[in-house]
Structure 1
């Protein structure tokens, strides 16, 4: 039985970057955890997964791997790395093998945000500032939400239909944060996924937007710490 604190590795989603974890990082560091926020290229999900796997190769283990939004697909795949001992999904996709984000959402009512995405000449998608504030981060203080919109990383449109590989959540203890007012991923889908992956614990946050890691960093941090403490105890 080990009492060593695991390292926390944070994986951002599309139209975001590692700075979206800032509030969570500060709280985890205050609790004595070593934390790394990976900056994925957002050029494709395989590229994002490779970037996280590269980081896991040099980051000291054991690791609690945390993913937001499309970062959930990344940790589902990169979570098979031997150093990863637990997964935390934050308002995220949690696919099974050979399943895509589009597959996950097909049984749920489409969200208005789906028609708001803009595409550049390379087929990468983004949100205009007004739509980012309206759909992605409506519960974030406007000044901060505008900064998030400015720093968003446009992501490849192909990630919506990319089929996931073997799901790490089948073999690693997993935890889930459900955002009850998510306008990017249906909150009903998030709740379903939490049950599907047999989450050790699910935290459902009322009125939370897709940017729950920014607007509600305390409960998100608490769940990550709970996962980390279980890993430290050898559970």
Structure 2
């Protein structure tokens, strides 16, 4: 009886230890899974094709990546286009934007499935602010050049092709930059001066990339935006406004960091 009793006690103790170990292992697991959905939003004068180098890295790493093609006809239209793509996602999503797209995700990021925002050389105005007025306070190199930003009779803007390569895309090949200068998507001037009606960065975590040699948006304005939003900031030395095309590895790394640390 003593032997049986000892054996039973040993088994009970083993079961208890195994249960405790299992509980400890379970407690050690992350409290959330990495976010797998990424939505990429382009800026003014360009389309979503510039995101392809980043898209290729993210999809290779197992992320589900979608791109928004904004009409660039009004802020409202561009926000609606972004919300439309967000509604197609099957779970928590990281929303990423370049340049003017930052204003778009500042509003569209209020969607409940958005758990983190990534600003790539992008604007991030607050409610009631617009990027045009903020840009005048800290003007970029391009905005100080006469005739650099052109405007059509019906109120659409584009960047003068003669300055596009050096101002927008100085670290891309000249051939690619020239092509992009002639394939611009004309953008309604009013998108830059429409005040924000929401600012998702006030309630959701954000990451910000400063393109240190940006001529379109003053890098100091990018730093100011991200400091105000308490963003996780990455500075990429030597990067032009086309940082998302020229430095895709660095940009993808920041997006993946957001996906791994946002609460999905």
Tell me the TM-score normalized by structure 2. 0.84
Deviation at 1:3, TM superposition (A): 2.2
Deviation at 1:152, TM superposition (A): 1.8
Correspondence 1:215 to 2:252: no
The one-character-per-residue Cα deviations of 1:6-44 (angstroms, maximum 9, x if unpaired) are 200000000010001011001101101010110000001
Deviation at 1:103, TM superposition (A): 2.4
Secondary structure at 2:137 match in 1: coil
Secondary structure at 2:234 match in 1: strand
Larger Rg: 2
Secondary structure at 2:253 match in 1: helix
Q: Which residue of 2 aligns with 1:42?
A: 72
Correspondence 1:73 to 2:126: no
> Would you say how many aligned residue pairs link Structure 1 and Structure 2?
232
Contact 1:20 1:148 survives alignment (8 Å):
no
Correspondence 1:60 to 2:108: no
Deviation at 1:2, TM superposition (A): 3.4
Q: Which residue of 2 aligns with 1:227?
A: 258
Q: Which residue of 2 aligns with 1:6?
A: 36
Equivalent residue runs for 1:78-157 within 5 Å: 78-109=108-139, 111-114=141-144, 115=146, 116-157=148-189
Secondary structure at 2:163 match in 1: helix
Q: Which residue of 2 aligns with 1:182?
A: 214
Secondary structure at 2:185 match in 1: coil
5+ residue gaps, structure 2, are 1-30
Equivalent residue runs for 1:163-178 within 5 Å: 163-178=195-210
Runs of at least 4 residues of structure 1 off by over 6 A? Answer: none
Deviation at 1:4, TM superposition (A): 5.1
Cα RMSD over matched residues?
A: 1.4
Tell me the TM-score normalized by structure 1. 0.94
